[in-house]
Amino acid sequence: MASFSSSSSSHLIIMNMVFLVLFSGTSSAQLSPDFYSKSCPNLFYAVKSTVHSAIYKEARMGASLLRLFFHDCFVNGCDGSLLLDDTSSFTGEKGAAPNLNSVRGFDVVDSIKSAVEKVCPGVVSCADILAVAARDSVVILGGTSWNVKLGRRDARTASQGAANSSIPPPTSNLNALISRFNALGLSTKDMVALSGSHTIGQARCTSFRARIYNETNLDASLAQTRRSNCPRTAGSGDNNLSPLDLQTPTAFDNNYYKNLVNRRGLLHSDQQLFNGGSTDSIVRTYSNSQSNFVSDFTAAMIRMGDIGPLTGSSGEIRKNCRMTN
């Protein structure tokens, strides 16, 4: 009887240890809004004050910071890999076709990281800084806030090839957009809601030249206006900018969807969301209700932030967002 009791207790101890290991592994992989509540209580103030200053200097920067988060999460998950400069061992994402001469705001991320390091050195990842800066940018430009889940760690490598294949180009059709978002665990409704981030920001002539000269599902007056700043000939005015939302390019609202209903989407991929296809009804709902859009957008942003994070002992907490430790 004694030997049975002994072996049972030993078995129980082993099972408890296995449970603890499994449980701790699971909990370490969970992101949480209060991840830094004790280790960096001044995180949110440090980020928001720096983002606010950057947007005050240039309103467009809010859209740029939001876009950095998108382009990071779409390539191997939300791991800060986009921020890495090229090294002798890998060619990073900054030079990929969707990013080259297009993504911007890296200097602002450096400033945010510097501000955060002053209040809690070596604690907060660059991946999490991108997530918080994206939320703050939306809020500062008039959008609604949400609880950003935190606890991501930073990648030690990056891939230009992955960036080229993972980020949907502005020439994408509806099926390609749905497929790409679905592959990342995001629904079609998530895709339409997240596309609403184009209610702020600017696009380069190279991104919409083919649309304004060749496509017919485009309001004629908008096409004429945009042609004045985007010559037909490739290589001429390639980097000239036009607002994605002509009405309120620095206000986070639902005008983007109203534009789509009126065939005033600047990018081919934008107008695909309202072009006689399966997403027309979602666009119409958002065009009629800013509250519906905002609610679905914030939920989709939280889901996007859950894509492939590095947690626990994976990755690292970079001292400098541009390079590994």
Q: Is 75 annotated as a binding residue?
A: yes
Q: Is 81 annotated as a binding residue?
A: yes
Length of the chain equals 325
Q: Is 248 annotated as a binding residue?
A: yes
Is residue 159 within 8 Å of residue 93, measured between CB atoms? yes
Alpha-carbon separation of residue 152 from 54, 186, 316 (angstroms): 24, 19, 9
Distance CA 192, CA 172 (A): 14
Q: Which of 11, 52, 71, 268 is catalytic?
A: 71
Q: Is 253 annotated as a binding residue?
A: yes
Alpha-carbon separation of residue 89 from 73, 95, 97, 112, 301 (angstroms): 22, 15, 20, 27, 32
Q: Is 245 annotated as a binding residue?
A: yes
Q: Which amino acid is at 200?
A: I
Q: For residue 144, which phi and psi values (nearest 5 degrees)? A: -95, 150
Q: Is 198 annotated as a binding residue?
A: yes
String of DSSP letters for 34-94 = TTTTTT-TTHHHHHHHHHHHHHHH-TTHHHHHHHHHHHHHTTTSSSSGGGPPP-SS---ST
Q: Is 72 annotated as a binding residue?
A: yes
Q: Is 170 annotated as a binding residue?
A: no
Task: Find tokens 């002994």 and name the residue.
Answer: 6
Q: Is 154 annotated as a binding residue?
A: no
State yes or no: is 268 an active-site residue: no
Collapse the DSSP code of 29 into the 3-class scheme (helix H, G, I; strand E, B; otherwise coil) and give the result.
coil
Is residue 40 within 8 Å of residue 123, measured between CB atoms? yes
Q: Is 215 annotated as a binding residue?
A: no
Q: Could you tell me which residues are annotated as the binding site for substrate?
A: 168
**Catalytic residue set:** 71
Annotated binding site for Ca(2+): 72, 75, 77, 79, 81, 93, 199, 245, 248, 253
**Binding positions:** 72, 75, 77, 79, 81, 93, 168, 198-199, 245, 248, 253
User: Which residues are annotated as part of the binding site for heme b?
Assistant: 198
